[in-house]
Amino acid sequence: MRAVLRAQFHDAQCGFKALRRDTALELLPEVTDDGWFFDTELLLVAQRRGLRIEEVPVHWVDDPDSSVRILPTAIADLRGVVRMRRAARSASRSAP
């Protein structure tokens, strides 16, 4: 994420997200992913808008009964990366 999308944050999917209601109402209409990539897209949209992103460590206890389907999740994430990269290129071309 940091190299391809120039993300300035380290981990989009760990931890929790907190934002003000007015900020959420502004950003959420621009987020199209409703899966695993949602967190990353939300943070990228916030970053591109120049909003401050704070990363605060939390103590996490893993749930041994939870699972992730690795291959479908990775493919969906890569599609999200490609989509966000195209959007960034398009925005940079249309900027004055």
Residue 88: partners with Cβ closer than 8 Å, 6 or more residues away? 5, 6, 48
Tell me which residues are annotated as active site.
39
Angle between helical axes of 38-48 and 70-94 (0-180°, round to 10):
20
In one letter, which amino acid is 2? R
